[in-house]
Amino acid sequence: MKILISNALCVLVFFSALVGCDKSDSNNPDMVDATEMDVLEQVTLGGVEQWISIQGKDISKPILLVLHGGPGFAMMPLLHEKNRELEEHFIVVNWDQRGAGLSYSPSILKESMTLSQFLSDGHELTEYLKTRFNREKIFMLGHSSGTIIGTFLIHSYPDNYYAFGSVGQVVDVIENEQLSYDFALEKAIAASNEIAITELDYIGRPNEDGEYTDDSGYDITIKWVGYYGGEVYGKSGSEEIEEFILNRPVYSNQQKKIISGWGFSQELFNDEAIWYLDFRISVNQVYVPVYFFTGRHDNDTPSSLIEQYYDVLSAPTKEIIWFENSSHFPFYEEPQKFNEMVVQKFLSSSL
């Protein structure tokens, strides 16, 4: 859910093929007449210009809207490279959310970084895609904090979605933080890691409001969760994913902007509607098929909480698909299986 962002400074040359991908005319019929589609464009959502990429081999295929996590962890290039097979079966729409990725701007008001505004943006984008491509419904895939947006959207607007794929489902933010801390401390004690133990003891376990004794608590916890493979299985953190994203053409000449968006987007956690949510209580019935694509070793959004949510959730169809060699990023850690499972589960849903 909350990803420790390192200061990746490496800059690559921006591919000339994408230099012309500025603001596209969303009303240009040529954009949807071609067989294939590969577009980077701005749309106005909630009065703020935000960027989306639209990529697919056949525009007659169903639409798949992707909601990144973080908050602020935009990942257009990662999914395009690691999960390109999805573009054979869907028109994949990656949305850099308000304040994140290419959509970051210092002019965006902090006061607009609220759950209700993100839900409004997501609903507006869904309606835009339905109208633009003349579809009654779309598919949706959310990762980490993006699952918060996705879960509320399918709950509020079930007629808009064929199915929802949840990757790293957020269930209860406060309990999530507590379990992540417990995992990190348990691993540190088992390894006799005195540095980790000292840091974790200093911040203390989050209290009933999810608060640490020090403001550094959130960063320290996720640092050690990542170190012990709770973010990327078998790795000591998610830095390789951050570098992968930053050094790809669509973002490589915008690194300062992307990194600024990572920090700014944490404003979303100041909204009590997110901080105190518990989907086991607030959204335990939906009318859309839900598939949980879950890393067995995920301790960023602990898989034990996801199992609890699965048990209480009522849905037309629900299933947990386990990724035994993954933590928080199965689409990166096991991309082939991830692609296959998304295609299989989604296309088995009623179209």
Sort strands 48-56 and 91-96 into parallel, antiparallel or unpaired: antiparallel
Return the pLDDT at 18: 33
Residues 193-219, mean pLDDT to the nearest whole number: 96
Return the pLDDT at 252: 82
Residue 35 has pLDDT above 90, yes or no: no
- Structure token pair of residue 227: 């170190």
Whether the CB-CB separation of 120 and 46 falls below 8 Å is answered with yes
Return the pLDDT at 350: 63
Considering the domain boundaries, does residue 9 fall inside one?
no
Considering the domain boundaries, does residue 219 fall inside one?
no
Of 41, 318, 283, 314, nearest to 150 by C-alpha is 283
The alpha helices in the chain, defined as continuous H runs, are 30-33, 76-82, 86-89, 115-132, 146-156, 173-190, 194-203, 217-227, 239-246, 249-252, 255-264, 272-275, 279-282, 303-312, 330-333, 335-347
Considering the domain boundaries, does residue 222 fall inside one?
no
Predicted confidence (pLDDT) per residue in 72-103, tens digit? 999 999 999 999 999 999 999 999 999 999 99
Tell me the C-alpha distance between 277 and 268, whole Å: 13
pLDDT higher at 342 or 16: 342
Considering the domain boundaries, does residue 73 fall inside one?
yes
Report CA Rg, the chain. 19
Entry pTM = 0.90
Cβ burial 77-93 (10 Å sphere, 16+ → b, else e): bbbbebbeebbebbbbb
State what percent of residues in the chain have pLDDT above 90.
84
Considering the domain boundaries, does residue 201 fall inside one?
no
- Cβ count near 336 (within 10 Å): 10
Return the pLDDT at 2: 54
Tell me the C-alpha distance between 74 and 70, whole Å: 8
Return the pLDDT at 16: 31
Predicted confidence (pLDDT) per residue in 214-255, tens digit? 999 999 999 999 999 999 999 988 899 999 999 988 998 889
Residues 55-75, mean pLDDT to the nearest whole number: 96
* Residue 72 lies in domain: 16-171+249-347
Return the pLDDT at 342: 98
Tell me the C-alpha distance between 340 and 21, whole Å: 30
Angle at alpha carbon of residue 346, lines to 345 and 347, rounded to 5°? 95
Query: Domains in the chain: how many in total?
Result: 1
Q: Is 72 exposed, middle or buried (0-12, 13-18, 19+ CB in 10 A)?
A: buried
Of 130, 131, 163, 169, nearest to 149 by C-alpha is 169
Residue 33 has pLDDT above 80, yes or no: no
Tell me the C-alpha distance between 123 and 132, whole Å: 14
Considering the domain boundaries, does residue 264 fall inside one?
yes
Residue 265 has pLDDT above 70, yes or no: yes
Predicted confidence (pLDDT) per residue in 117-176, tens digit? 999 999 999 999 999 999 999 999 999 999 999 999 999 999 999 999 999 999 999 999
Return the pLDDT at 270: 86
Return the pLDDT at 333: 98
User: Residue 59, SS3?
Assistant: coil
Beta bridge partners of 293: 167, 321
pLDDT higher at 4 or 179: 179
Considering the domain boundaries, does residue 153 fall inside one?
yes
Residues 101-107, mean pLDDT to the nearest whole number: 96
Residue with tokens 């079966």: 89
Q: What is the CATH number of the domain that holds 154?
A: 3.40.50.1820
Beta bridge partners of 278: 172
Return the pLDDT at 249: 87
Return the pLDDT at 133: 97
Tell me the C-alpha distance between 206 and 86, whole Å: 39
Residue 43 has pLDDT above 50, yes or no: yes
Residue 21 binned pLDDT confidence (cut-offs 50, 70, 90): very low
pLDDT higher at 72 or 12: 72
Angle at alpha carbon of residue 70, lines to 339 and 39, rounded to 5°? 55
Considering the domain boundaries, does residue 211 fall inside one?
no
Mean pLDDT of the chain: 91
Phi-psi category of 6—alpha, beta or left, where left has phi over 0 and alpha has psi -120 to 50?
beta
Angle at alpha carbon of residue 163, lines to 160 and 164, rounded to 5°? 100
- Structure token pair of residue 99: 């304040």
Residue 199 binned pLDDT confidence (cut-offs 50, 70, 90): very high
